[in-house]
Amino acid sequence: MVNVGYSQNWPPVETEPAERHPDAPAPGTKLGQHYSRCFGCGDVPGGLHLTATAGEGVSLTAVFEVTDSHEGAPGLAHGGLLACAFDEALGGANALLRMPAVTGHLETDFRRPVPVGSSLHITARVDGIAGRKVYSSAVGRLNDENGDVALRARALFVIVDVEHFLTHGNREQIEKMGWRQADTRDEQLDFNP
């Protein structure tokens, strides 16, 4: 299992181990966009353009190249965009479960500044599942997968069905993508890449 630096009181409740779905991409597989207009992984101008690779178990590694478009203070990445990168990476790890889930809670610990022009290497994993709750954690390192730790994050995701997106999202876009309401989670495999 990938160690991302959180262990004390995490997850905060008793959980079942997360199991990678048999049809999830194999370790080492580059993960595609889950939606082309996603600010995190899509083709959005000024977006994060996060790239991710499936890891062992229910984990992934992702890279966020920090550009001038991501600047907060002069020469430094905006903290909110860094949190967004972690939300994207943690959600991507959930995709290996092949169950749609939405962010319920995200906490980010900023350990050191992330300069414009650097790359943030994020390792994210699903730590456990309790009912519909998915507990995940991640660490971000500067410029290398073994670089200095810049951020850590923990998140709670809530498993939902496609009806959640049909009700609250853009139904026309969702239907164009082929997402559909299904009777069982196994039938929703087209939801995540």
Determine the Cα angle at 188 with ends 185 and 193, to 5°: 120
CA pair distance 96, 136, nearest whole angstrom: 12
Structure tokens at 32: 């595609």
Q: Does residue 8 carry a pLDDT above 80? A: no
Residues 6+ apart with CB under 8 A from 146: none
Bigger pLDDT: 38 vs 187: 38
Q: Does residue 101 carry a pLDDT above 50? A: yes
Q: Does residue 153 carry a pLDDT above 90? A: yes
Share of the chain above pLDDT 90, in %: 69
**Amino acid 90: pLDDT:** 96
Structure pTM? 0.87
Q: How confident is the model over 62-90, as pLDDT tens digits?
A: 999 999 999 999 999 999 999 999 999 99
Q: How confident is the model over 32-61, as pLDDT tens digits?
A: 887 788 888 889 998 999 999 999 999 999
Residues 6+ apart with CB under 8 A from 136: 90, 93, 94, 124, 125, 126, 127, 154, 155, 156, 157
Burial 112-150 (b: 16+ CB within 10 A, else e): eebebebbbbbbbbbbbbeeebbbbbbbbbbeeeeeeeb
Give φ, ψ of 15 to 5 degrees.
Answer: -130, 165
Q: How confident is the model over 109-143, as pLDDT tens digits?
A: 999 999 999 999 999 999 999 999 999 999 999 99
Q: Does residue 177 carry a pLDDT above 80? A: no
| Mean pLDDT (whole number) for 152-157 | 97
Q: 51 burial class (0-12, 13-18, 19+ CB within 10 angstroms)?
A: middle
CA pair distance 181, 108, nearest whole angstrom: 33
Domain made up of 30-158: CATH architecture: Roll (3.10)
CA pair distance 191, 193, nearest whole angstrom: 7
**Amino acid 171: pLDDT:** 78
* Domain spans in the chain, listed from the N-terminal domain onward: 30-158
